[in-house]
Structure 1
Amino acid sequence: MPYEQSSPSAAAVNANKNEKDSRIAVLLFPVLILLGGLCGMLVPQAFVGFSGWINPLLMVIMFCMGLTLTLPDFALVFKNPLPVLGGVAAQFIVMPSMGWLVATLLQLEPALAAGLILVGCAPGGTASNVVSYLARGNVALSVAMTSVSTLLAPLLTPALALWLAGQYMPVDAGSMAVSVIKIVLIPVVLGIVLRMLFNRFVAKIGGVLPWLSVLAITFVVTVIVAGSAQTILTAGLLVLVAVILHNALGLALGYAMGVLLRVPEASRRTIAIEVGMQNSGLAGGLAKQYFSPEAALPGAVFSVWHNLSGALIAAYWRRKDAK
């Protein structure tokens, strides 16, 4: 019998395809969001009527995130809890406090200050896992941190917003907590359960999930920008500066937390990315619902910038490793 070379398993081929799709999605993410923001800016009247779609689309995004998670993803929390808990603590300490600091230093008007702080109070961003992979970070740690921060969001996001953003605008923390449970917790848990029940089917469509998330968050940003078009003309540059500072401080202090925890270089990169990349779409939706359309602007700008900065820093670290 002639020798037959063994071919890769269908699961391995499918996993490689899903990985490739995820990388393409996250690299194109800033471009698509920028185009969506331009559409919202140039023809706001075409999108302002879709403001009621923001929360349902955020639920779709979080549901897609839940479908990518499995119970073993949480195992790291119990096997090696220090990096996970230390990183999540940095997430909810560094970003809210730095949002408040930047808003104070730049003397942002109340709505913009509250919106920037709310970005800092949000859990980790949904694209951070792929960016951690691209940066050759600790992907298991990234997934664990994103999962834990997301599950803690119904408690910590409203509480931190009340404490810090409440200095600028009234915050209904109770109602916000209920909204976060509806928008974040329920869809994520439902996604995890469906993944457990239909794992093989979900694995087959895994490559589609990043694209659904990208398209959904792009439309959310478009609608938010459309509702804040006038504010962009007067304060857009200042908001961009605030967002860049906020994101840079998060990346730097997140990396410093990794150094403080004495974790390997790959884990330091992951903690930096997890702390610096926020679920800014959620923050923008909450800001629009509980503050004002102007308050949602920092979340929209952050959605563009943190994915761009994440892709750039990942490319830098990969080039550094190659050298």
Structure 2
Amino acid sequence: MKQFCALIGKFFGIIAIVFLVLGLTMPQNFLWVLGKVHGISVLSCMLGIVMFGMGTTLNLKDFALVLKRPLDILIGCCAQYFVMPFLAYLLSVAFNLDPALTTGVVLVGTCPGGTSSNVITFMSKGDVALSVTMTSVSTVLSPILTPFITYMIIGEKINFDPVGMFWSIVQIVILPICLGLAVKSFLPKLAEAATDYLPAVSSIAISLIIAGVIGGSRDLILKAPGLILLVVILHNCCG
């Protein structure tokens, strides 16, 4: 089972692409991701699971890197919350995207990095400590900066509730991460055992989210698939 979970984590990129294609070709099979069970959002629960998994991999000592390498963290935060959001907006304007797609692209630019960035950094033999710290810092800042910057960029053009978004991030991101940190601190053996499985669970959850979101927006995406793909590629390359 551990080997199978390891394979899922190793080939996460391929799995994500497969689910993206499935979301486009068989959207009806993944619309449940956008639904609710007993009034609770399935999508929010999946995101919470991913964030909890990340929390169990973190340690309070990870935050100490902020004091040791403040310039690196500052550069990362500026890239995360200023360069990427405004690049997203400029590209949306340049390619004349409609308000719904503009909102999506800007939100991608203003949202913090997540578990997958740490996994990809590890697989690429990058600076994992910096990646984990940046993920932690950007996540802590996200309840304030994500809604604020999104509001500053598109709030006047589109009906947007920054307070609601703030509370949503607290529920979906901050609380699960804190719970994961608590498990890591007070139940270290359980957290260590879970690390063999949680990355695979997170990978599947992220892939299902991709399929659900793509499936729910399939008709809009198919109207301009080449344009959306081009904007996404340019956003990442320019960043």
The Cα shift of 1:27 comes to: 4.2
Q: Are residues 1:130 and 2:119 paired?
A: yes
CA contact (8 A) 2:56 2:181 kept: yes
Aligned position for 1:231: 220
CA contact (8 A) 2:59 2:181 kept: yes
Aligned position for 1:161: 150
| Whole-angstrom distance in 1 between the partners of 2:125 and 2:27 | 39
TM-score by length of 2: 0.90
Aligned position for 2:94: 105
Q: Are residues 1:46 and 2:35 paired?
A: no
The Cα shift of 1:139 comes to: 1.5
Aligned position for 2:170: 181
| Whole-angstrom distance in 2 between the partners of 1:230 and 1:51 | 16
Encode CA deviations 1:193-250: one digit per residue, 9 max, x unaligned: 1110111221122121110110101111111111111112211211111100111112
Given residue 72 of structure 1, which amino acid in structure 2 is its aligned partner? K
Given residue 159 of structure 1, which amino acid in structure 2 is its aligned partner? F
Pairing partner for 1:190 from 156, 179, 196:
179
Pairing partner for 2:20 from 30, 34, 37:
37
Segments of structure 2 that go 5 or more residues without pairing to the other structure are 36-41
Over aligned residue pairs, what C-alpha RMSD do you find? 1.8
Segments of structure 1 that go 5 or more residues without pairing to the other structure are 1-16, 251-323
TM-score by length of 1: 0.68
| Whole-angstrom distance in 2 between the partners of 1:46 and 1:26 | 23
| Whole-angstrom distance in 2 between the partners of 1:204 and 1:127 | 20
Encode CA deviations 1:43-76: one digit per residue, 9 max, x unaligned: 2222223313111101111111111101111111
Alignment of 1:249-288 (within 5 A): 249-250=238-239
Aligned position for 1:58: 47
Pairing partner for 2:133 from 130, 144, 150:
144
Given residue 161 of structure 2, which amino acid in structure 1 is its aligned partner? D
Given residue 245 of structure 1, which amino acid in structure 2 is its aligned partner? L
State the SS of the aligned residue for 1:169: coil
Distance 1:225 1:248, change over 3 A: same
State the SS of the aligned residue for 2:155: helix
With a CA cutoff of 8 Å and minimum separation of 6, indicate the structure with the bigger relative contact order. Answer: 2
Distance 1:72 1:226, change over 3 A: same
Distance 1:249 1:175, change over 3 A: same
Given residue 155 of structure 2, which amino acid in structure 1 is its aligned partner? G
Given residue 28 of structure 2, which amino acid in structure 1 is its aligned partner? Q
Runs (4+) of structure 1 exceeding 4 A deviation are: 24-27
- The higher radius of gyration belongs to 1
CA contact (8 A) 2:30 2:208 kept: no
| Whole-angstrom distance in 2 between the partners of 1:61 and 1:133 | 17
Aligned position for 2:38: none
The Cα shift of 1:147 comes to: 0.5
Encode CA deviations 1:68-99: one digit per residue, 9 max, x unaligned: 10111111112222211221222111110110
